[in-house]
Amino acid sequence: MESYIQYYVRIQKKSNLYIGLKKKYYLACDLWNFSPKYMKRFPAYILMCICIGAGSISCSQRRETVPFADIPFAEGDVVFRKGIGAKTHAVLHADSSGIYSHTGIVVKDGSAFKIIHITPGEREKGETTDKIKMETAEVFWANDRAEHGAVYRLTDTFFCAGAARQAKRLLQKGMQFDHDYELSDTTQLYCTELVWYVYRLAGTDITNGKRSELNAPMYAGTYIFPSDIYTSKVFHLIYKF
């Protein structure tokens, strides 16, 4: 059976931009400033960067114009995107039920709705670490970051405002990205873990305990994939493109 790393290589070759795993290894380490303990787990990052909504290698882009201003957002909505590039394809290969590769939560910032999320590889100028951020829908779903997207809402909206408040608190705290993808440690978070965690703090488990297991060498573990959230019966679809 084809391994995830083999799948990644094949996708890279198909895009005609394959430069060798060894070169990609050092490129990624330089780009993301991985420490040595992260470097040895690089194959896991190829597969587990479910927070990278836009890969460094573009394969396709959406053609439709999305009327972001017309999306009926509400605080606590959970948003998803399918990124652009080989990394997204590798993630979705690992998440067999998945159609999206990244997620965030909607909050109210003054009179505007914005999205709080956490991801590696999208640092602002001057930033030296990967950390939580707040962006407009136009930026979150920019053409070079997203091919498709969706908005989901809890059927029981009682917990939504509380989750949004928790997300803002973590934004003010400057929560760092969890490059180890450890669910047992909430001092750092990855994208789906962030959304799950703020809702847990608000008083509910939006995954109903669902977890995804990877048993392959070097990246075996328990994770929350985007599909573990949006397939939960507590959500219903509000908008997609």
The sign one gets for the Cα dihedral 79, 82, 85, 86 is positive
> Picking from 129-143, 184-198, 210-224, which range would have the lowest pLDDT averaged per residue?
210-224
Report pLDDT digits (tens) over 141-169: 999 999 999 999 999 999 999 999 999 99
Rounded to two decimals, what is the model's pTM? Answer: 0.77
The whole-angstrom separation of Cα 133 and Cα 115 is 8
CATH topology of domain 4-240: endopeptidase fold (from Nostoc punctiforme) (3.90.1720)
Give the range with max mean pLDDT: 3-17, 59-73, 171-185.
Answer: 171-185
Report pLDDT digits (tens) over 95-141: 877 999 999 999 999 999 999 999 988 999 999 999 999 999 999 99
Which of 198, 68, 76 minimizes the C-alpha distance to 132?
A: 198
Sequence spans of domains, the chain? 4-240
Taking a C-beta distance cutoff of 8 angstroms, is the pair 14, 104 a contact? no
pLDDT at 136: 98
